[in-house]
């Protein structure tokens, strides 16, 4: 019980003694604001004994198509598709998961060239849920081991990467079950976050989000191991789609001029919107000349600093076989490398509708 | 007989003498390390037999329900089901609602531990640099779900209203809810590990 | 597109109102399963299955209206060695890809509209042999610096005879050519000519794989849609061969085309679209797969192994992309897709 009191006392004395000094930008990027850090120690999840069914996806005649989620596992790398699960630490004590309330001007986001830039608006409080942060400089780890193209800004080391797997069974027709069996190795999601704040000119909750997924390998098998045509290693390999050295940096929203808006309309449909960054949010129908003045300043700032979306697949292969763990498969149909680089959205509005 | 009683009472009388309370001084007390902590097991059930708002109707046809009835069976099911808890949140003035609907089931766990811990070693070298106290939640070895379910969707009203009843009969034909997905969970999830919680400056 | 949506919504509202009033007046009637699905929680995703030519299909449909204006610096799908193709080329290789366009002076965007996208998997037994991302309707400008493209891209060329004649270059001794040029520029000078174009190689052969040119294939003829049988008989005497027709070049590098309008443009306003293209999809497959044509359930589109982009003809025979002969010869300038100074690369 004494331990609990110990921590806040230390904080208060520390604050009283430390003289206030303006932080440099590089130091500022490390400041997280007031918050709580989480690190997971020795984690292991195995839901193979539980049945999870996702409903509410209907077929063409309105009947429910249940999706059974089976064989979910999460453990340390080297689990051999969940066969030998060992516990893993996720999130480092120096770079943990965080939930924090910070000032908009204190938060930073990593830009493609390695600089940390401010993306959230100033003078308001932002609630942030973040995965372990990215690091620039000493201490940065290769985000995909043995592959330089994914960068070296991750903070999680090899011992903090996970193997994860899940199997979905879709009962699509009375006599047909589609199986999608996903196994991911060396998965890390450093640098992902969700930030939420209130926007007064739009009178609603808005946000910005980034999701980074780095995986050494992803195997998608379309049959259930042990079922018909899916017994021997050769049969299973022929029915597998392999991704090697794949990563995605999905960026939605640039808080200063293009926050992510998620609304529900009055007729019960959802709307996901990324507004035009050069327009005035208080009067979006007013024209703004982007060739000069404030319009050009907003456009230039958006293109220079807003995080972009990239999707990269180092090697995509249908039906081959991996010569060794983490290596690109041989045989099968080799689609080679594919990428979408530098996706920037000037405007997006997605509205759901009844089918 | 009498001698035994004497012996017993003699022993009883003697015991306090050996175990006399003495106040420990502060120095001695501060060097004691107690094993503080909590060990929790529990079972929660949410709307296992239905909730307070709606009673279970006789069929799954919404137009046959009365004003205070609702069945939360999946589309196309024949038998009606009790409904779980509903939470609706609106994040915009005059906007629609995010809904967590039909949240119900029995959830039980054993062995959730809670204690404080000083970390100044381990963690691949991070522990020594960290050198702080943390709150350690030890995850239970097993979490059991029985008939657990929930649905996430969006709606144009916070409370659920029956779209196929007229307003006079207690419904609201203008009510619209779009379910994004719903899930049912049953069985045991095995887990292990600790969640370490500490403040960030 | 929007009027159609409004009509559909009001039609749906009417149907629902009709259903509700019917039940109120006619006493309790059990709703049929498809009616029941309307009144319980409505979902925007559904899953349908299909089967054809020995392949099973599973399709996830998303009920969504999407309006977007975006830029991708580099879009490269399928960078792998392919028999018969140059080394280090990709199936689809487009730099500065963009959907939609912007107006720098007003800061407003002219978005690319997509309706009801879907994701479909093709199975041979229980092996996935293809994946396609399709759009039930698509409308707007698609821009890019196209290096290579693989697929089926249908283009309709149109234009007046007077312009076509200026592009015909005849050798001094070629009497037939001179005669044809005179006719096209003279008697037929005011007629609307039309031709169908597709992905080709420099020799006029169709080249659906890693093509760098678009044009008329060998044997393709011009036509006058509003012309008489005699007009079209005359034209049928001349067909494109080796990328030439009546001494006019008929194949053009894709790099000349900065932007393609997908859907039907308003003839008087090249920023306004009047109808959408149906059947646009992007797919990858490990073998040749016959995907069902969304516009005609009896037809299939044969997609080659690899990455494949399909911008097909509409059900009425018109192509998704309509350009004039002038644009074909001169290239189509790229639409401005970046706010501020540049028109691309932002």
Q: Which helix (H) or strand (E) holds C328?
A: helix C325-330
In Å, how far from its chain's centre is CA C92? 15
- Could you tell me the pTM of the whole model? 0.84
| C-beta of residue A235 within 8 angstroms of C-beta of residue B123 | no
Neighbouring chains of A at 3+ CB pairs within 8 Å?
B, C
| C-beta of residue C122 within 8 angstroms of C-beta of residue C150 | no
Q: Cβ contact (<8 Å) for A63 and B119? A: no
> What per-residue confidence (pLDDT) applies to C224?
84
Domain count, chain A: 1
Mutate to test the interface with B, among C40, C43, C60 (most CBs of B within 10 A): C40
Q: Confirm whether B9 is domain-assigned.
A: no
Alpha carbon distances (Å) from B163 to A84, B175, C189: 51, 6, 63
| C-beta of residue A79 within 8 angstroms of C-beta of residue A87 | no
Alpha carbon distances (Å) from C165 to C180, C185, C244: 9, 5, 14
Q: Confirm whether A123 is domain-assigned.
A: no
Q: Cβ contact (<8 Å) for C20 and B164? A: yes
Provide the domain limits for residue A314. Answer: 44-88+134-351
User: Which range in A73-82, B71-80, C1-10, C216-225 is most confidently predicted, on average pLDDT?
Assistant: A73-82
Q: Cβ contact (<8 Å) for A303 and C346? A: yes
B49 touches chain A (CB under 8 A): no
pLDDT-wise least confident of A62-66, A278-282, C291-295, C298-302 = A62-66
| C-beta of residue A46 within 8 angstroms of C-beta of residue A164 | no
Whether residue A16 is predicted with pLDDT greater than 70 in this model: the reply is no
Mean pLDDT of C159-176: 83
Per-residue pLDDT reduced to its tens digit, C19-66: 433 333 444 444 343 333 333 455 688 899 999 999 999 999 999 999
Q: Record the tokens describing residue C49, joined without a space.
A: 């299955």
Whether residue C252 is predicted with pLDDT greater than 50 in this model: the reply is yes
Out of C33, C39, C41, closest to residue B164 by CB = C39
User: Which residues numbered 261-320 in C keep a CB inside 8 Å of some CB on A?
Assistant: 284, 286-287, 305-307
B153 touches chain C (CB under 8 A): yes
A349 touches chain C (CB under 8 A): yes
Share the mean pLDDT of chain C.
Answer: 83
Q: Confirm whether B47 is domain-assigned.
A: yes
Q: Confirm whether B3 is domain-assigned.
A: no
Whether residue C267 is predicted with pLDDT greater than 90 in this model: the reply is no
User: Which residues numbered 38-57 in C keep a CB inside 8 Å of some CB on B?
Assistant: 39-44
- B68: closest CA of chain C, how far (Å): 16
Per-residue pLDDT reduced to its tens digit, A215-273: 999 999 999 988 988 999 999 999 999 999 999 999 999 999 999 998 888 777 889 99
Residue C160 CB neighbours (<10 A): 18
Can you point out the beta strands (E) in C190-324?
Answer: 192-200, 213-215, 244-245, 248-249, 251-253, 259-262, 264-266, 269-275, 277-285, 289-292, 300-303, 306-311, 321-324
Neighbouring chains of C at 3+ CB pairs within 8 Å?
A, B
Using CA atoms of B19, B21, B26, B30 in order, give the dihedral in degrees to the nearest 10.
Answer: 40
Q: Cβ contact (<8 Å) for A56 and B156? A: no
User: Which residues numbered 24-43 in B keep a CB inside 8 Å of some CB on C?
Assistant: none
Q: Record the tokens describing residue A303, joined without a space.
A: 């293109």
Mean pLDDT of C78-94: 94
Mutate to test the interface with A, among B96, B98, B117, B158 (most CBs of A within 10 A): B96
Q: Cβ contact (<8 Å) for A339 and C76? A: yes
pLDDT-wise least confident of A20-24, B86-90, C67-71, C242-246 = A20-24
C44 vs B contacts (CB less than 8 Å) = 178, 180
Q: Give bridge partners of residue C93 from the DSSP assignment.
A: C76, C148
DSSP secondary structure of chain B: -HHHHHHHHHHHHHHHHHT---PPPHHHHHT------EEEEEEEEESBTB-SS-B--SSS-GGG--TTB---PPTT-SS-----EEEEE--BTT--EEEEEEEEEEEEEEEEEEEEEEE-S-GGGHHHHH-EEEEEEEPPSEEEEEEEEEEEEEESSSS---TTS-GGGT--TT--EEEEEEEEEEEEEEEEEEEEEEEE-
Domain count, chain B: 1
- A293: closest CA of chain B, how far (Å): 32
DSSP secondary structure of A27-60: HHTT---EEEEEEEEEEEEEEEEEEEEEE--EET
B31 touches chain A (CB under 8 A): no
Out of A11, A52, A262, closest to residue B185 by CB = A52
Q: Record the tokens describing residue B56, joined without a space.
A: 């279970």
Q: Which helix (H) or strand (E) holds A97?
A: strand A97-103
In Å, how far from its chain's centre is CA A92? 17
> What per-residue confidence (pLDDT) applies to C185?
85
Q: Confirm whether B31 is domain-assigned.
A: no
Q: CA-CA distance, B74 to A55, in Å (whole number)?
A: 7
B61 touches chain C (CB under 8 A): yes
Provide the domain limits for residue B93. Answer: 37-197
B178 vs C contacts (CB less than 8 Å) = 41-44
Per-residue pLDDT reduced to its tens digit, C272-299: 888 898 889 999 999 999 999 888 888 9
Per-residue pLDDT reduced to its tens digit, A100-140: 999 999 999 999 888 999 999 999 999 999 999 999 988 89
Q: Confirm whether A255 is domain-assigned.
A: yes
User: Which residues numbered 144-163 in A keep a CB inside 8 Å of some CB on B?
Assistant: 157, 159
Alpha carbon distance, N-terminus to C-terminus of chain A: 58
B94 vs A contacts (CB less than 8 Å) = 266
Radius of gyration (C-alpha) of chain C in whole angstroms: 23
| Closest by Cα among A254, A266, A268 to A348 | A254
Alpha helix (H) residue ranges in C48-102: none
Q: Record the tokens describing residue A25, joined without a space.
A: 């930008």
Q: CA-CA distance, A210 to A325, in Å (whole number)?
A: 29
Residues 6+ apart with CB under 8 A from B1: none
Phi-psi region of A72 (alpha: psi -120 to 50; beta: other; left: phi over 0): beta
C33 vs B contacts (CB less than 8 Å) = 76
C60 vs A contacts (CB less than 8 Å) = 57
User: Which residues numbered 318-337 in C keep a CB inside 8 Å of some CB on A?
Assistant: 337
Q: Which ipTM value was assigned to this complex?
A: 0.87
Whether residue A5 is predicted with pLDDT greater than 70 in this model: the reply is no
- B153: closest CA of chain C, how far (Å): 9
Out of B60, B64, B178, closest to residue C28 by CB = B64
Q: Confirm whether A16 is domain-assigned.
A: no
């Amino acid at each position: 019980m004494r331990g609990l009191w110990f921590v806040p006392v230390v904080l208060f004395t520390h604050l009283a003694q430390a003289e206030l000094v303006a932080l440099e930008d590089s130091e500022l990027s490390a400041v997280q604001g007031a918050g709580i850090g989480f690190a997971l120690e020795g984690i292991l999840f195995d839901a193979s004994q539980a049945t999870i069914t996702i409903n509410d996806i209907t077929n063409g005649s309105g009947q429910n198509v249940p999706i059974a989620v089976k064989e979910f596992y999460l453990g340390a790398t080297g689990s051999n598709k969940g066969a030998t699960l060992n516990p893993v630490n996720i999130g480092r004590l120096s770079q943990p998961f965080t939930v924090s309330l910070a000032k908009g001007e204190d938060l930073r986001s990593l830009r493609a060239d390695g600089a940390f830039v401010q993306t959230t608006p100033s003078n308001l409080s932002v609630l942030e849920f973040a995965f372990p942060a990215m690091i620039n400089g000493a201490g940065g780890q290769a985000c995909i081991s043995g592959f330089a193209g994914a960068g070296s800004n991750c903070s999680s080391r090899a011992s903090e990467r996970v193997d994860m797997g899940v199997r979905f069974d879709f009962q699509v027709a009375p006599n047909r079950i589609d199986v999608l069996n996903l196994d991911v190795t060396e998965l890390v999601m450093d640098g992902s976050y969700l930030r939420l704040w209130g926007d007064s000119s739009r009178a609603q909750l808005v946000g910005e989000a980034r999701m980074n997924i780095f995986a050494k390998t992803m195997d998608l098998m379309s049959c259930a191991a042990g079922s018909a045509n899916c017994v021997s290693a050769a049969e299973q390999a022929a029915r597998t789609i392999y991704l090697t050295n794949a990563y995605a940096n999905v960026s939605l929203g640039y808080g200063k001029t293009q926050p992510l808006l998620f609304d529900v309309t009055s007729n019960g449909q959802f709307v996901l919107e990324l507004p035009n960054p050069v327009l005035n949010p208080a009067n979006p129908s007013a024209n703004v000349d982007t060739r000069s003045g404030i319009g050009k300043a907003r456009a230039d700032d958006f293109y220079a600093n807003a995080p972009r979306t990239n999707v990269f697949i180092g090697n995509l292969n249908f039906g081959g076989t991996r010569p060794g763990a983490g290596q690109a498969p041989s045989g099968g149909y080799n689609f080679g490398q594919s990428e979408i680089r530098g996706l920037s959205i000037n405007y997006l509005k997605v509205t759901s509708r009844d089918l | 007989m009498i001698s035994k009683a004497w012996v017993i009472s003699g022993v009883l009388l003697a015991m306090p003498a050996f175990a006399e309370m003495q106040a420990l001084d502060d120095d001695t007390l501060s060097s004691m390390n107690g094993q503080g902590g909590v060990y929790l097991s529990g079972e929660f059930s949410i709307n296992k037999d239905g909730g307070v708002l709606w009673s279970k109707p006789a069929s799954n046809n919404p137009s046959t329900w009365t004003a205070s009835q609702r069945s939360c069976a999946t589309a196309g099911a024949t038998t009606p089901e009790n409904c779980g808890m509903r939470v609706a949140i609106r994040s915009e003035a005059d906007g629609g609602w995010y809904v967590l609907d039909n949240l119900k089931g029995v959830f039980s766990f054993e062995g959730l531990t809670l204690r404080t811990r000083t970390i100044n070693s381990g963690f691949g070298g991070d522990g020594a640099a960290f050198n702080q106290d943390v709150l350690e939640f030890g995850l239970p070895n097993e979490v059991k779900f029985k008939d657990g379910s929930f649905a996430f969707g969006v709606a144009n009203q916070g409370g659920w209203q029956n779209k196929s009843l007229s307003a006079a009969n207690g419904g609201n034909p203008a009510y619209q809810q779009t379910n994004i997905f719903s899930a049912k969970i049953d069985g045991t999830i095995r887990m292990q590990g600790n969640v370490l919680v500490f403040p960030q400056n | 597109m929007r009027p159609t949506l409004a009509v559909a919504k009001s039609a749906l509202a009417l149907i629902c109102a009709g259903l509700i009033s019917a039940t109120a007046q006619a006493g309790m009637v059990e709703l049929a399963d498809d009616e029941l699905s309307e009144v319980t929680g409505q979902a925007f995703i559904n899953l349908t299955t299909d089967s054809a030519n020995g392949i099973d299909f599973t399709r996830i449909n998303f009920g969504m209206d999407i309006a977007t204006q975006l830029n991708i610096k580099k879009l490269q799908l399928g960078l792998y060695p392919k028999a018969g193709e140059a080394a280090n080329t990709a199936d689809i290789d487009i730099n500065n890809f963009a959907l939609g366009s912007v107006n720098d002076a007003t800061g407003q965007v002219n978005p690319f509209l997509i309706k009801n996208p879907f994701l479909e998997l093709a199975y041979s037994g229980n092996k996935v042999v293809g994946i396609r991302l399709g759009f039930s309707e698509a409308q707007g400008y698609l821009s890019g610096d196209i290096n290579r493209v693989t697929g089926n891209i249908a283009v309709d060329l149109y234009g007046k005879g007077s312009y076509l004649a200026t592009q015909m270059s005849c050798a001094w001794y070629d009497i037939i050519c001179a005669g044809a040029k005179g006719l096209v520029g003279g008697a037929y000078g005011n007629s609307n000519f039309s031709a169908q174009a597709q992905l080709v190689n420099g020799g006029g052969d169709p080249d659906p794989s890693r093509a760098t040119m678009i044009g008329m294939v060998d044997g393709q003829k011009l036509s006058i849609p509003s012309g008489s049988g005699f007009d079209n008989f005359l034209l049928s005497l001349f067909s494109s061969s080796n990328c030439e027709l009546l001494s006019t070049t008929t194949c053009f590098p894709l790099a000349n085309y900065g932007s393609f309008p997908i859907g039907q443009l308003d003839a008087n306003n090249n920023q306004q679209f009047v109808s959408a293209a149906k059947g646009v999809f992007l797919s990858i497959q490990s073998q040749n797969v016959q995907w069902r044509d969304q516009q005609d359930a009896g037809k299939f589109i044969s997609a080659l192994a690899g990455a494949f982009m399909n911008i097909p003809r509409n059900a009425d025979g018109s192509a998704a992309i309509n350009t004039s002969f002038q644009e074909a010869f001169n290239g189509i300038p790229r639409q401005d897709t970046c706010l501020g100074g540049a028109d691309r690369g932002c």
